[in-house]
Chains A and B, each alone.
Chain A
């Protein structure tokens, strides 16, 4: 069962002055410095490959997969879906700048009018609704394929997510979510991917959080399909014994906002494959 986020930004705003507040820029510098000192031999940019930046044998197998990765089918499907006109004759291209080509790295963005974080998935469904189409299932194959295609046209673009004054509350909420312990195992995102980043969890190597948001959507061999970042959030939460939230809930969008901001300066490398 998942509940939509009801935590009001107001509450966050009230709590904020209670502890020393770092600006997003300071957070980013400290975040990067943490991983640089933890992995002195690894270029920050290489963390975009997750655990495969940390282990040679795993990297070799992964590169073999990337040589002809299964997400290529999703990219083709996504392109066909993207170009399929709506009933009103318009298409997705009409809703985005540069007709939707090479723009994925601009998301998520803070919409100052709506006062909320807008992810590309949300923008795609709003585009559909604006043109009289029913929204897509956020956990379905179609949205993942569209995202795969849009990521593919955006490969190589550098992240430079902005946090305007009005977006600070959402950013802070996402940051808090990242560091809050959850579930029966009492783990935060940061427990595994910051504190223990690079360490082993049973047979797995824990990836660093710098680079966590650069490569979505991702074909996970475990899922046997391409899934979105929020699919992974749900899975991560469930893995520590917490109930996942609804995909595209405010809290997950805020988390994506924080995580993607922490990837600023890195290059978009989605779609990708992971085990």
Chain B
């Protein structure tokens, strides 16, 4: 059946077009998601900064946090999204650890005084 065959072809073409659209929309979606994670990374960096400032106020800030925050910012503005994300995550971790250290040491220090 010619018509049928053509019809099949048409359906097939339409199908591929739809599939192409679907795929491209998927890619577009990924781009959108990346854009969103750029904002998320910015949030991570801000979180690290605010914890870092808290540690500074408690006089327990770490050198590494400062360095990681700068590196995360540089990676983000260079468009190295994956790097930026992992560096920012580490910045948050070290900043949190420095704040935890400050809080812990408020009491822990006294055990080290020779009696």
Question: Which residues of A pack against B, CB within 8 Å?
Answer: 1, 3, 5-7, 15, 18-19, 22, 27, 30-31, 33-34, 175-177, 179-184, 186, 188, 190, 194-195, 238, 241-243, 245, 251
Output the nearest chain B residue to A181 by Cβ-Cβ distance: B105
**B64 — which chain A residues lie within 8 A by C-beta?**
184, 241
Residues of B86-115 contacting chain A, CB below 8 A: 94, 97-98, 101, 105-110, 112-115
Pull 20 A–B residue pairs with CB atoms less than 8 Å apart, ordered by A.
A1-B61, A3-B56, A3-B57, A5-B59, A7-B58, A19-B107, A31-B114, A175-B113, A179-B113, A181-B101, A181-B105, A181-B109, A184-B63, A184-B97, A184-B98, A186-B101, A194-B114, A241-B63, A242-B62, A243-B62
Interface string of B44-82 (1 = CB under 8 A from A): 000000000000111111111010000000000000000
Output the nearest chain A residue to B106 by Cβ-Cβ distance: A15
Contact flag A188-B113 (CB < 8 Å), given A241-B62, A251-B59: no
Output the nearest chain B residue to A179 by Cβ-Cβ distance: B109
Q: Are B113 and A27 touching (Cβ within 8 A)?
A: yes
Q: Are A243 and B114 touching (Cβ within 8 A)?
A: no
Nearest Cβ on chain B to A36's Cβ, whole angstroms: 11
**Interface size grouping (class) on chain B:** 20 to 34
Q: Are B105 and A180 touching (Cβ within 8 A)?
A: yes
User: Can you list the 9 inter-chain pairs with the closest CB atoms, starting with the nearest?
Assistant: A179-B109, A34-B114, A180-B105, A243-B61, A3-B56, A179-B112, A180-B109, A30-B114, A19-B110
**B61 — which chain A residues lie within 8 A by C-beta?**
1, 3, 242-243
Q: Are B113 and A1 touching (Cβ within 8 A)?
A: no
Which label, helix, strand, loop or mixed, suits the secondary structure of the B interface? Answer: helix
Q: Out of A18, A180, A183, which one reaches B62, CB within 8 Å?
A: A183
**A18 — which chain B residues lie within 8 A by C-beta?**
107
Given contacts A184-B62, A195-B112, A242-B62, 12 further A-B contacts (CB under 8 A): A1-B61, A3-B56, A3-B57, A7-B59, A15-B106, A31-B114, A34-B114, A176-B109, A181-B108, A184-B64, A243-B61, A243-B63
User: How far is it, in angstroms, between the C-alpha of A242 and the C-alpha of B60 when the chains are bound?
Assistant: 7
**A176 — which chain B residues lie within 8 A by C-beta?**
109-110
User: How far is it, in angstroms, between the C-alpha of A158 and the C-alpha of B104 when the chains are bound?
Assistant: 37
User: How far is it, in angstroms, between the C-alpha of A17 and the C-alpha of B1 when the chains are bound?
Assistant: 98
User: How far is it, in angstroms, between the C-alpha of A19 and the C-alpha of B94 when the chains are bound?
Assistant: 30
Q: Tell me which of B63, B64, B97, B114 has the highest count of chain A C-beta atoms within 10 A of its own C-beta.
A: B114
Q: Are B57 and A188 touching (Cβ within 8 A)?
A: no
Q: Are B101 and A182 touching (Cβ within 8 A)?
A: yes
Nearest Cβ on chain A to B15's Cβ, whole angstroms: 58
Contact flag A243-B56 (CB < 8 Å), given A15-B106, A182-B101, A184-B63: yes
User: How far is it, in angstroms, between the C-alpha of A214 and the C-alpha of B88 when the chains are bound?
Assistant: 44
User: How far is it, in angstroms, between the C-alpha of A243 and the C-alpha of B107 when the chains are bound?
Assistant: 21
Nearest Cβ on chain A to B93's Cβ, whole angstroms: 11
User: How far is it, in angstroms, between the C-alpha of A36 and the C-alpha of B98 when the chains are bound?
Assistant: 34
**B108 — which chain A residues lie within 8 A by C-beta?**
180-181
Nearest Cβ on chain B to A8's Cβ, whole angstroms: 12
User: How far is it, in angstroms, between the C-alpha of A154 and the C-alpha of B44 when the chains are bound?
Assistant: 54
User: How far is it, in angstroms, between the C-alpha of A176 and the C-alpha of B107 when the chains are bound?
Assistant: 9
User: How far is it, in angstroms, between the C-alpha of A3 and the C-alpha of B56 when the chains are bound?
Assistant: 6
Nearest Cβ on chain B to A230's Cβ, whole angstroms: 14
**A6 — which chain B residues lie within 8 A by C-beta?**
57
Output the nearest chain B residue to A239 by Cβ-Cβ distance: B63
Output the nearest chain B residue to A186 by Cβ-Cβ distance: B101
**A243 — which chain B residues lie within 8 A by C-beta?**
56, 61-63, 66
